[in-house]
Amino acid sequence: MAAAQRRSPLLVGISTALVLLWVVVAAFPFLWTLWGSFKVQADFFSLADWRNAWTGTFTTEQTGAAFTGQGYEGAWIQEEFWRAALNTMIVVVSVVVISLTLGTLGGYALARSGFRYTFWLLMIALVFRAMPHITLVSGYLLPFFEWNVWGHLPTAIIVLVAINQPFTLWMLHSFFLNIPKDLDESAMVDGCTRFQAFRHVIVPVMWPGVITTGLFSFLLAYNDFAVTAMLLSQQNQTMIPKIASFLGSTQQEGNVMFAVAAVVSATAPLFVLILFFQRQIVSGLTSGAVKG
Amino acid sequence: MTKAFRTTICASVLAVGGAGAALADCGTGNVSILGNDFPALQAVVAGASACEGPNVTANLTSDHRDLQVAALTANPSQYSVAVVANGSIVPLLNEGLIRPLDDLVAEHGASLDPTQLVRIEGQIMAVAFMANAQHMFYRSDILEQAGVDAPQTTADVLAAAEAIRSQGIMEYPVAIVSGAGWDLAQEFVNLYLGHGRAFFEPGSAAPAINNDAGIATLETLKALTSYSNPDYLTFGSNSVQALWEAGEVGIMMLWGSRGAGILAGENSTPEIVESTVLAAAPYVEGQTRPATTLWWDGFTIAANTSDEDAEASFLAMLNGLTPERIAANSALAVWLADGYEPTPASAGVVASAQAGAAPYPMQPYMGLMHTALGENLAAYLQGSASAQETLETIEAAYETAARTQGFLN
Amino acid sequence: MKHRTFFWFILPSLSAMILFIALPVGSVFIQSLHVEHEQVLRVVENCGPFGCAEETIVDREATAELRENQPLGRFAGVSNYLDRNHLAVAELRSMWERSDSFADFARRAMTLPFWRALAFTLTFTFVVTPLVIVLGLAIALGVNSLPRLFRGPTIFVSLLPMIVTPLIGSLILFWMVDSRGVLGSSLQILMGDPDLSLKASPVLTWIMLMVYGVWSSAPFAFIVFYAGLQTVPEEPMEAAMIDGASRWQRVRYVVIPHLMPLAVFITLMQLMDNFRVFEPIVGFQAQANATSLSYNIYNYLRGDAAQFGAAATTSMLTIFGIVVLLTPVLIRTWRDFNRKRT
């Protein structure tokens, strides 16, 4: 298709310029933060002259070199950011696996059932998704303390799975709609039960959609602040609340450079993830959401 | 060894102030501590954890205020100790979630200074161990250059700011923690209490700020912020401290707990550090106490916890507050406990307290007033509402909240 | 699918949602219909490190008795919804009577927390959502016409603003737009105004928040549209080219209709997410100039004086607002659903 198009040079110029501009706008804050994370606070947050962040005047003065790993050392070793990273990994992997398991079963059922209640279930799921998270969380506190389950990783995982269900159901449901009905129904004609048909016929072809949905579940669990900040104790804290705690409070000074280094560290795995899964994300979206 | 015997040893050791930093005996049970996350408290918790006997755990987080009511309502409560301040003890008192400490203090608290004991209606409900307040910082070199004396009153501060500005030394010489919301409301509270007036009608929850002192407070606040950087409505303590360390301001009001960091000068220059003077908060013209509020941090013991755990918790917390430990951590806070050696960083808080600054009010509905102030002050400072209108709006907002919470009918 | 099979398939998912979403929503609704008990007050003498003072406290025994009788609080009907913190009916009426012009009325109404938050929330939603769709489509078309070699890296970079935590993304930008920061200083030079501050003026703060909203959501629209572009059917495209359609005409009459269902999907998600805008306000410390409904809820729940009733009422109003916003989309889905059934 691309080869067949005759394009005017003007259009190509405009669209290339637009993409270039967007790339700069999207990437600049990250490059800037990455660069700044190797400086000291007086440079990166210089009030005298922002160019200090570029030249590293104070960094050189304080550490003897133009770059310093102090922020990373402080965050990872002194403040034990690795613990938070480990907790995040546990939470994220569990949330993704559980939400996808529940979501594929439910999404498949919603896609294959033609009764009117499926529509209403989908609508209710949509309204559930609209609920501000912070309201939900404040409602959990008392019962969780009462049942003595507050503060543990499994509690936060289950809550995140539940909060994530509406979106997972929606995405997977529209994805399953695109898998021809004949596929599993012919299997059932051959004597499979519904679950066997799902297990042997649908599961092998559903991966692109599942991976895309998984990415969004991943982002939700990875980026969550409201739930993890309120439901996890200090020992079980995940990365985002930990970063927030580096910033200090009204009365107490924080260490902003620890936060910057931690922000860069927390974004790095996402880079890797996108790098590996880019193709699946795009193809999954193609086959999944198109008929949205 | 019986439990009574062991605790006697512990108490007597504490009383002579010789409890070794390591392994004091604190009875048996579970001690779990909920509190804010800052170095002074971390030091106390480290001391508590050094106790022999109980199993000590701690959850130090800046979200502690949002957790404490739910955590202590559960029975048995999730935490046996809640570290609070004079603002955050109120919800726990309202709900009856903390226990009177009179027995424990009588039995084990000989080492405590009587001023550390927070008594509500005669009963000891908390043991305070550190103090904090916003106070004035000024740059002696800048004031000298501008040819003004150290300010004593808010009017002096404004005059000094005008002198600095008119001589072209600094365009925005003043910084206060004026970020919209809680911080800005705190500035109003400081100045209003500096007028010596109360926020409420005596003995009731009816608001009483719509008066001449309220108007004067608003006007002072507006005058101060007119000498502040135009971004002042986003200023939290971090931004104010950063401005100071960059040498951008000559006078500021900031929390005393930030003093140590500023004097350490890690992010600033020797000239700035050397000329930094920590002083009491300024007076409102013609008034007798500095325009600031004093805050204490202290520990409370949960009501919904066993007596054994409560006793172990009390002993563990005392072990975190031994004179040696306080002396070793003098730089971290203005301690109220024995063993504290005042450091230069504490000068402003101590001066404010000695000059008779008021403690932050402990009325059960003060938090609602604080919220109402925080929501509505910015409109006045930005010029979209008059002082009179603003005070009316604040009272209306407060009354709505107080009605929903059952304080007003 | 049989009801029974359907039930077993949906059960795990549904029970998670009922337990952790439906029940809390239900309890929030009940809470929004109640106010706290009357608190019995008593004046006592309190002493602390800074001396003694006469202060009021809550008489716990008397209050506990009231609580025992009605554990939920006093039933208040819809009065929470009508009070000053929410719909503020009475206040609006008296403001209307006292105002001499509509502008004056609007100025007064902006002191009411709910209406103030709603004004920003709606503006944000209706400015950001269309911009996200247009920008996302434009980038998708642009990337799609790039040589294949450059597409991968471009997609990778384009996704960055979406994957970063909102709280942190807005913090990074907040540091940059400070009047001394790299973006703030550059803007001052560009505009030729050395006193320009994005944080000080309400209008600039709103614009800044919306720019952030578009920046962080455009990748979502981009990636969905880009995926859709890969499946544009060849036949109508070729037919259009044979008919001599210009590139714009091809986009207008072939590509856009093909992408319509995707645009609906994006609109749905964006309307919901933008209506809940919250993190940027905290990250940019913009509460002096802009508050949203979610920010109000957060504000009620936080600090020494949590107001659960007010938070519950605002939550219910937020949900109601989203349902209203989504109605057109829902009706469309309902029609599609029925068409699919028949």
H or E element: which one contains B170?
Answer: none
Cβ-contact A139, A231 below 8 angstroms: no
The predicted structure's pLDDT at residue C340: 66
The predicted structure's pLDDT at residue B23: 55
Q: Name the DSSP class of B383.
A: T
Report the complex ipTM: 0.88
**For residue C77, how many other CB atoms are within 10 A of its CB?**
10
Measured between alpha carbons, how far is B343 from B330 in angstroms, rounded to an integer? 7
**Best A230, A251, A260 residue to mutate vs chain B (most B CBs within 10 Å):** A251
The predicted structure's pLDDT at residue A285: 58
Residue closest to B104 by CA, chosen among B295, B305, B297, B296: B305
The predicted structure's pLDDT at residue A148: 87
Give the mean model confidence (pLDDT) for residues B392-398: 95
Q: Which residues of A touch C268 (CB under 8 A)?
A: 126
Cα torsion B105, B106, B110, B114: sign: positive
Q: Name the DSSP class of C18.
A: I
Neighbours of chain B (3+ CB pairs under 8 A): A, C
The predicted structure's pLDDT at residue A284: 60
Measured between alpha carbons, how far is A243 from A240 in angstroms, rounded to an integer? 5
Scanning A128-167 for CB atoms below 8 A from C yields 128-132, 134-136, 138-140, 158-159, 161-163, 165-166
Residue B85 C-alpha from the chain's centroid: 7
Task: Verify that B277 and B175 share a domain, yes or no.
Answer: yes
- Which range marks the domain in which residue B120 is found? 3-131+295-342
| Token pair belonging to B4 | 């009574």
DSSP string, C234-249: HHHHHHHHHTT--HHH
Instruction: Please name the residue of chain A whose CA is at the shortest distance from the CA of residue C152.
Output: A278
- pLDDT category at A286 given cuts 50, 70, 90 is low
| Token pair belonging to B384 | 């979209």
Instruction: Say if the Cβ atoms of A244 and C167 lie within 8 Å.
Output: yes
Cβ-contact C264, C329 below 8 angstroms: yes
Instruction: Please name the residue of chain C whose CA is at the shortest distance from the CA of residue A107.
Output: C10
pLDDT single digits (tens) A89-112: 999 999 999 999 999 999 999 988
Number of structural domains in chain B: 2
The amino acid that residue B176 corresponds to is I
Highest mean predicted confidence (pLDDT) among A4-18, B142-156, C325-339: B142-156
| Token pair belonging to B248 | 């951008």
pLDDT single digits (tens) B25-47: 788 889 999 998 888 899 999 99
- Rounded (10°) CA dihedral C216, C222, C223, C224: 110
The CATH architecture one would assign to domain A74-288 is Orthogonal Bundle (1.10)
SS3 B290: strand
Decide if C72 touches A, using CB distance below 8 A. Answer: no
Measured between alpha carbons, how far is B324 from B111 in angstroms, rounded to an integer? 13
- pLDDT category at A281 given cuts 50, 70, 90 is low
Whether residue B217 has pLDDT greater than 70: yes
Task: Indicate the residue of B66, B366, B376 with minimum beta-carbon distance to C111.
Answer: B376
Asked if the structure places residue B347 within a domain, the reply is: no
Q: Which residues of C touch B294 (CB under 8 A)?
A: 49-50
DSSP string, C91-152: HHHHHHHH-SSHHHHHHHHTTSHHHHHHHHHHHHHHHHHHHHHHHHHHHHHHHHTS-HHHHH
The predicted structure's pLDDT at residue A85: 93
Give the mean model confidence (pLDDT) for residues B163-176: 95
Whether residue B3 has pLDDT greater than 50: no
Instruction: Say if the Cβ atoms of B78 and A150 lie within 8 Å.
Output: yes
pLDDT single digits (tens) C235-283: 777 888 888 877 778 888 888 888 887 788 788 889 988 998 988 898 8
The predicted structure's pLDDT at residue B215: 97
Task: Verify that B95 and B138 share a domain, yes or no.
Answer: no
- pLDDT category at B195 given cuts 50, 70, 90 is very high
Q: Which residues of B touch A42 (CB under 8 A)?
A: 245-246, 267-268
CATH number of the domain bearing residue B15: 3.40.190.10
The amino acid that residue A31 corresponds to is L
Environment class of C101 (CB within 10 Å of its CB; exposed 0-12, middle 13-18, buried 19+): exposed
Decide if B330 touches C, using CB distance below 8 A. Answer: no
- Looking at per-residue confidence, does A87 or C304 come out higher? A87
The amino acid that residue A150 corresponds to is W
Give the mean model confidence (pLDDT) for residues B57-83: 90
Residue closest to B304 by CA, chosen among C77, A202, A142: A142
Is domain C117-341 annotated with CATH 2.30.330.10? no
Cα distances (Å, whole numbers) of residue A37 to A34, A69, B337, B340: 5, 8, 40, 37
Residues of chain C above pLDDT 90, percent = 27
> Which residues, 6+ apart, have CB-to-CB distance to C67 below 8 Å?
C37
Task: Verify that B117 and B43 share a domain, yes or no.
Answer: yes
Task: Indicate the residue of B363, B378, B403 with minimum beta-carbon distance to C55.
Answer: B363
Three-state SS letters, A91-128: HHHHHHHHHHHHHHHHHHHHHHCCCHHHHHHHHHHHHH
Whether residue A142 has pLDDT greater than 60: yes
- Min CA distance, A256 vs chain B (Å)? 9
Rounded to 5 degrees, what are φ and ψ at C174? -60, -40
| Token pair belonging to C156 | 């990778």
Scanning A76-95 for CB atoms below 8 A from C yields none
Residue closest to B373 by CA, chosen among B101, B196, B102, B188: B188
Angle CA B55–B60–B61, to nearest 5: 150
Cβ-contact A72, A37 below 8 angstroms: yes
Residue closest to C48 by CA, chosen among B189, B103, B360, B370: B360
- Tell me the pairing of strands B174-176 and B251-255: parallel
Instruction: Say if the Cβ atoms of A135 and C28 lie within 8 Å.
Output: yes
Q: Name the DSSP class of A66.
A: S
Residue closest to A75 by CA, chosen among A276, A192, A198, A246: A246
Residue A269 C-alpha from the chain's centroid: 11
The predicted structure's pLDDT at residue A3: 40
| Token pair belonging to A193 | 């039960």
> Which residues, 6+ apart, have CB-to-CB distance to C259 below 8 Å?
C137, C225, C228, C229
pLDDT single digits (tens) C197-213: 888 888 889 999 999 99
Instruction: Say if the Cβ atoms of B400 and C83 lie within 8 Å.
Output: yes
Residue closest to B213 by CA, chosen among B302, B285, B269: B285
Please state, rounded to an integer, the average pLDDT across all residues of chain C.
86
> Which residues, 6+ apart, have CB-to-CB distance to B73 below 8 Å?
A142, A145, A146, B95, B97, B304
Instruction: Say if the Cβ atoms of B246 and A146 lie within 8 Å.
Output: no
Whether residue B257 has pLDDT greater than 50: yes
Task: Verify that B237 and B279 share a domain, yes or no.
Answer: yes
The predicted structure's pLDDT at residue A15: 84
Measured between alpha carbons, how far is C195 from C193 in angstroms, rounded to an integer? 6
pLDDT single digits (tens) A173-197: 877 887 788 888 888 888 888 888 8
Overall residue count recorded for chain B in this entry: 409
Decide if C50 touches A, using CB distance below 8 A. Answer: no
Cβ-contact B293, B190 below 8 angstroms: yes
Decide if B114 touches C, using CB distance below 8 A. Answer: no
Instruction: Say if the Cβ atoms of B230 and C200 lie within 8 Å.
Output: yes
Please state, rounded to an integer, the average pLDDT across all residues of chain B.
89
Measured between alpha carbons, how far is A216 from A167 in angstroms, rounded to an integer? 9
Strand partners, B255: B134
| Rg over CA atoms, chain B | 22
DSSP string, B86-149: TTTHHHHHHHT-B---HHHHHHHGGGS-GGGEEEETTEEEEEEEEEEEEEEEEEHHHHHHHT-P
Instruction: Say if the Cβ atoms of B237 and A251 lie within 8 Å.
Output: yes
Strand partners, B175: B252
| Token pair belonging to B239 | 């931004």
Asked if the structure places residue B244 within a domain, the reply is: yes
pLDDT single digits (tens) C172-231: 788 788 877 888 888 888 888 877 788 888 888 999 999 999 999 999 899 888 878 877
Whether residue C3 has pLDDT greater than 90: no
pLDDT single digits (tens) A219-274: 889 888 888 888 998 889 999 888 888 887 777 777 888 888 998 888 888 878 77
> Which residues, 6+ apart, have CB-to-CB distance to A61 below 8 Å?
none
Strand partners, B33: B58, B81
Cα distances (Å, whole numbers) of residue B200 to A283, B210, B216: 64, 10, 17
Task: Verify that B93 and B145 share a domain, yes or no.
Answer: no
Domain boundaries, chain A: 9-71, 74-288
H or E element: which one contains C51?
Answer: strand C51-58
- Rounded (10°) CA dihedral C52, C56, C60, C66: 180
Decide if A223 touches C, using CB distance below 8 A. Answer: yes
Asked if the structure places residue B409 within a domain, the reply is: no
| Token pair belonging to A99 | 């939400």
Environment class of C82 (CB within 10 Å of its CB; exposed 0-12, middle 13-18, buried 19+): middle
Task: Verify that B174 and B316 share a domain, yes or no.
Answer: no
Please state, rounded to an integer, the average pLDDT across all residues of chain A.
83
Task: Verify that B212 and B100 share a domain, yes or no.
Answer: no
SS3 B386: coil
User: 3-state DSSP helix/strand/coil percent for chain C, to nearest 5?
Assistant: 70, 5, 20
